[in-house]
Amino acid sequence: MPTQPEKHSIQAWSLINRKYLGKGVRVKRFRKPTRCQIRNRVLLAVLMVKDIKLSKLAEELSVSSRSVSVWVYEGRIPSKKNLDKVCQYLGYPRHILFNEEVIQKSPVICQPSHSHFMRRTITRSPIQNQILTGLCMVHDLSVSDVSQWIGAHPGTFRKWLHQGTHPSRTFQDKTEQFFRIPKSILFADSVLHNDSNENNHE
C-alpha cells in the first residue's frame, strides 16, 4: 500500500496534467513554441523571475537567440565558453542551471497563461528563493496551490520564497517529490545566500 506522501504526489501531478496538458505554452515576453515541452525548467525559472527575455540573454552573452532557445526548450548544454558566461551572468553554478539528470527527466509542461499571481508575489516583496518562485511561474502555480499539495501552510511557503527560509527535511522531500527536482536545486538559493554572507563577514 503506498504511503500518503506518494499518493498525494500522484494526485497533485494528475491535477496538473488535467489542467495544463495540450494547451500550449503562452507566456508573456517569452517564446511561444508550437510544442509545449520545456526541457530546462530551472533555467527558464531563473529567467522568468528575473524578467529576462531569451533575446535579452542572447544579446548579453553575444550568442544567437536560437542558441538560448535550445538551451531552454530542448535542454541542450552550451559549449564550455557559453556555459561559463551564462552561469556567471545569472549567478548560479552549472550543476544548478544545467543539471543533465533533471533536464532528461523533465516532464511535459504546458502553461495556458502568464502567472499574474506570482508576478504580484514578486512585486509585493523581495524574493530570496528565485528558483522555487520561478518554478511556480513556469508551472503557473500559486502559493496556495503548492502549499495545499505539499501540506504546508501558505504563510510558511511564502517564507521560503521571500525570506529564503530553509524548510525541514520533510518539506524539502515533499517539495522535491512534487516538482521532481532535487531539493539541493530547489533550495540552492538559501545555501548560496548563506555562503555569500559568510564570505562577506570574513
- pLDDT tens by residue, 25-43: 444 455 544 445 788 999 9
Three-class secondary structure assignment of 112-161: CCCCHHHHHHHHHCCCCCHHHHHHHHHHCCCHHHHHHHHCCCHHHHHHHH
Q: Compute the average pLDDT of residues 55-66.
A: 95
Q: How far apart are CA 184 and CA 188, in angstroms?
A: 6
- Which of 17-21, 116-120, 189-193 shows the lowest mean pLDDT across its residues? 17-21
Positive/negative CA dihedral, 127, 181, 150, 196: negative
Cell digits of residue 20: 495544463
How confident is the model over 79-113, as pLDDT tens digits? 999 999 999 999 999 999 999 999 998 876 765 45
Regarding pTM above 0.85, the answer is: no
pLDDT at 166 over 80: yes
Calculate what percentage of the chain has a pLDDT beyond 90. Answer: 56
